[in-house]
Amino acid sequence: MFKKILYPTDFSELSDKALKYVIRLKEIGTEEVVVIHVIDKRTIKVFSKLYWQEFSITDKTLKEKAQAALTPIEEELKDNGFRVKVLVAEGIPFREILRAEVEEDIIATVIGAHGASNVEEMLLGSVAEKVIRKAQKPVLVIKG
């Protein structure tokens, strides 16, 4: 049914909870998981204006840290029998998740409902809520 799914992560506890559901989808035939982490370009833009001299180092560091944090997730999924593709994107999170949904020909997305802080959600809106509203394919929402 859900042969290829998308698993966006922000490395929060709720994302970890969603990962447990992703692993359980193996029981119903999921074969491949595309894991995506999006580095929010709005955060980078603000940081680069404040600390322009260090920005190139920071941008590289953010990507390296994201890749390092994705490695254990990739290994856990592979250990559970999935084919895995890992993506580190830079942009507006919900847009990059929706882009991956289309470009990777995803059947469904599994996402946590509250990954960001409450203040951030009030200011920017929930990434999960925007994905749910705009996704072309089914979205399985894991609530915290």
Residue pLDDT, tens place only, 60-80: 788 899 999 999 999 999 999
- Residue 108 reports pLDDT greater than 50: yes
What integer pLDDT is reported at residue 115 of this predicted model? 46
In 5-107, alpha helices (H) = 13-24, 41-50, 55-79, 93-103
Mean pLDDT of the chain: 86
Query: What's 123's domain CATH number?
Result: 3.40.50.620
Among 3-17, 18-32, 67-81, 115-129, the minimum mean pLDDT is found in 115-129
Residue range of the domain that includes 76: 4-142
- Residue 122 reports pLDDT greater than 90: no
Which residues have CB under 8 Å from 82's CB, separation 6+?
26, 30, 31, 32, 33
pLDDT cut 90: percent of the chain above it: 64
Of residues 33 and 143, more confidently modeled: 33
